[in-house]
Chains A and B, each alone.
Chain A
Amino acid sequence: MIETKSLKFSYDGKFVFEFPDIKLKDGENLLILGNSGIGKSTLLHNLAGILTPQSGSIKIFGNDISKFSEIEIDKFRGENIGIIFQRPHFVNSLTVKENLQLAKYLGKNLEGDIKETLSSLKILDKIDKKPNDLSQGEKQRVSIAIAIINSPKLILADEPTSSLDDSNCNNVVNILKEQASKKNAQLIVITHDSRLKKHFRTSLQL
């Protein structure tokens, strides 16, 4: 259960973003659509606890993360939320395997199976490669692996498909949905890419 109520956020105290309420039942995925500059990433960062709202509440699985201290939210995020960014990010000094080990360490997760995760994303052969040696598509798959290795209950994806052609776009969305259902996680995708509409039953227009 993910629920936001009268969520407001401001960077400078003058211009205030007001977001519509979100109510997402267990097992449901959500597509949030909106044009550039409307505050999509800001909403995602609020949901992930990277930004703290000016007012309103964000309840994720019963916890109001807007009331959490910074250390609490870091811990909660590490254990419960996986984030996929538009451009994949890694710790570039580490190999694919070590990146996943680091994610497990930071999320205090002992169980996540690195090999299984990589093979379900069909990139097991890249396990000892450095991220910089991977192709764009491989990088995105690795970043998905990092986001899901700790079996998060919520996966947030920020513009995962905007730079992809139609067939790759479908691929990525299918991978995300597939991995989310495999891990019993809820998926929230935030994008301006209207091609994704057909993949989601529930969507919200900002």
Chain B
Amino acid sequence: MNIFKLSIKNIFNRPLSSVLSVILLSLGVSMISLLILINTVLKEQMDNNLKGIDMVVGAKGSPLQLILSSVYHVDSPTGNIPLNEAKAIEKNKMVGNSVPLLYGDNFKGYRIVGTNSNFFELYNLKIKAGNYFNNYFEAVIGAKVAEKLNLNLGDEFVSSHGLRETGETHDDSSFIVTGILEYSNSVADNLILTSPNSIWEIHADHNHSEQIDHDDEHDHDEHDHDEHDHDEHDHDNEREITAMLVKFKSPMNIIQFPRYINEQTNLQSAVPSYEISRLFKLFGFGIETISLLAYLIIIVSGISIFITLFNSMKERKYDLALIRTLGGTRIQLTMMLIFESLFLTIFGFLMGVFLSRIGLLFISNFIEASFNFSLNNIIIINEEWWLFLISVIIGLVSCLIPSIQVYKMDISKILSNE
């Protein structure tokens, strides 16, 4: 038996109030911790996918939607743009690299993207097995797609129209897996890549030339429905792409060029870094409100520990006096109270961190299922050491008054009043 063990026994001797204090603290800590985690991981992931993209060009509509669909592959595209207009931009002197993107199909919810080797360069993709796509209906699949759908080199699959699993299938043309990518921790992990020609080819044989499933009812004014029955699709001026990712030669161009496109052409340009910081600003208010609430809960837990200790001082005054008469010093009794308080707060903190990780796992699973997007690093982050410090301070502050009381306790008076 020692003072530390005695503290633990005391805590277990009043289970209800101890549990209440721990629950309150861990609730507050897990809320803040989860917010910090999501914010960090999400920002990291979003920034990672933004690398090398100065501007996105697509059909007119919401700029945020354009970014979300063509950079993060989570929203529906705004529509299609004529290939020759995209090529005109590509040839502009200010444009460095450009990556075309074509949507239209999916396989079991994973998007099939028509693009070229620039896409591989942009995300620094390496092929783990097999080869780059060269011919029609050859596909290179992301590492996660291969894992989740259990696809191997040489496997064939039939795509469905649209970006959701429920679209009609293109039974007459099937893709063959010619390459599997290494994990890149980018959007490419969840994509199926093929050549633009494959996408054009699939849709050429059908009674519609649009590459996008229009179930989504997005703005698609510029699509010409008269084209439906054309048999020839060889010409660039009839072909369309969904969007184009652009890297400028000089960072200066990011100011003029997007404005030029928005004002002078039928296309829309959006700057990802701007749209994403706008998005985070929108989140920001909510995050601050929840954080405030969480800090309030942590303070309430401190008050609950204080009240518990303060009340227990009255109940335990004879216990404490006995400990003194048995040779216990004032310091030992004070340490006992501090241990009790710190044990509750540190345990609460650990519970909170644990809960936040479970919460993150749940959210991660949810996001992955619905958006093909994963938050995969679960590590202790710096901000959480601050949270630990705050918990310890709360623990020390809540036992301050009881500790002073016990330090000043007059045992003779207590023992005489029996």
Which A residues are closer than 8 A to B by beta carbons? 41-42, 45, 48, 50-51, 70-71, 74-75, 77-79, 83, 85-87, 89-94, 98, 101-108, 146, 158
Within 8 A of A (CB), among B102-124: none
Task: Report how many residues on chain B are interfacial, defined by Cβ distance under 8 Å.
Answer: 26
Selected contact of B1 from candidates A50, A98, A146, CB within 8 Å: A98
Contacts of B319 in A (CB 8 A): 89-93
A163 to B13, CA, bound (A): 30
Within 8 A of A (CB), among B314-335: 316, 318-319, 321-330, 332
Stretch at the interface among B21-29, B147-155, B353-361, B408-416: B408-416
Give B411's nearest chain A residue, CB to CB.
A50
Contacts of A103 in B (CB 8 A): 326
> A102–B326 contact, CB under 8 A?
yes
A-B pairs, top 5 by smallest CB distance, nearest first, are A78-B327, A93-B13, A101-B1, A106-B327, A89-B322
A90 to B10, CA, bound (A): 13
> B323–A74 contact, CB under 8 A?
no
> A89–B416 contact, CB under 8 A?
no
Distance (Å) between the CB of A24 and the closest chain B CB? 21
> A94–B325 contact, CB under 8 A?
no
> B328–A106 contact, CB under 8 A?
yes
Contacts of B366 in A (CB 8 A): none
21 sampled A-B residue pairs with Cβ under 8 A? A45-B412, A45-B415, A50-B412, A50-B415, A51-B412, A70-B329, A77-B326, A78-B326, A83-B325, A89-B321, A92-B13, A93-B9, A93-B10, A94-B6, A101-B1, A102-B326, A104-B1, A106-B326, A106-B327, A107-B326, A158-B415
Give A131's nearest chain B residue, CB to CB.
B319
> B6–A102 contact, CB under 8 A?
yes
User: How many inter-chain contacts with C-beta < 8 Å in the A-B complex?
Assistant: 79
Residue picked from B6, B322, B412, most chain A C-beta under 10 Å: B322
Contacts of B2 in A (CB 8 A): 105
A77-B1 contact, Cβ under 8 Å, with A51-B412, A86-B418 = no
> B1–A92 contact, CB under 8 A?
no
> B415–A102 contact, CB under 8 A?
no
Distance (Å) between the CB of A162 and the closest chain B CB? 11
A42 to B316, CA, bound (A): 22
Distance (Å) between the CB of B412 and the closest chain A CB? 5
Selected contact of A75 from candidates B9, B327, B411, B416, CB within 8 Å: B327
Contacts of A101 in B (CB 8 A): 1
A6 to B188, CA, bound (A): 94
- Asked if B12 is at the interface (CB within 8 A of a chain A CB), the reply is yes
> B416–A90 contact, CB under 8 A?
no
Distance (Å) between the CB of A174 and the closest chain B CB? 24
A153 to B316, CA, bound (A): 28
- The 8 A CB mask of B6-18 against A (1 = contact, 0 = none) is 1001101100000
Contacts of A78 in B (CB 8 A): 326-328
Contacts of B328 in A (CB 8 A): 74, 78, 106
A50 to B330, CA, bound (A): 12
> B9–A146 contact, CB under 8 A?
no
Contacts of A48 in B (CB 8 A): 325
A90-B322 contact, Cβ under 8 Å, with A105-B1, A106-B327 = yes
> B316–A102 contact, CB under 8 A?
no
> B327–A91 contact, CB under 8 A?
no
Residue picked from A48, A70, A77, A93, most chain B C-beta under 10 Å: A93
Give B331's nearest chain A residue, CB to CB.
A71
Give A100's nearest chain B residue, CB to CB.
B1
Contacts of B329 in A (CB 8 A): 70-71, 74
Contacts of B325 in A (CB 8 A): 48, 50, 77, 83
A85 to B2, CA, bound (A): 23
A91 to B6, CA, bound (A): 9
> B330–A70 contact, CB under 8 A?
yes
A92-B327 contact, Cβ under 8 Å, with A41-B416, A45-B412, A50-B415 = no
A165 to B416, CA, bound (A): 23
Within 8 A of A (CB), among B368-418: 411-412, 415-416, 418
A85-B6 contact, Cβ under 8 Å, with A74-B328, A91-B319 = no
Distance (Å) between the CB of B20 and the closest chain A CB? 18
Distance (Å) between the CB of B316 and the closest chain A CB? 7
> A94–B416 contact, CB under 8 A?
no
Distance (Å) between the CB of A90 and the closest chain B CB? 7
Within 8 A of A (CB), among B261-300: none
Contacts of B10 in A (CB 8 A): 93
Give B315's nearest chain A residue, CB to CB.
A92
Contacts of B418 in A (CB 8 A): 85-87
> A85–B1 contact, CB under 8 A?
no
Contacts of B332 in A (CB 8 A): 106
A106 to B9, CA, bound (A): 16
A112 to B354, CA, bound (A): 43
Distance (Å) between the CB of A114 and the closest chain B CB? 11
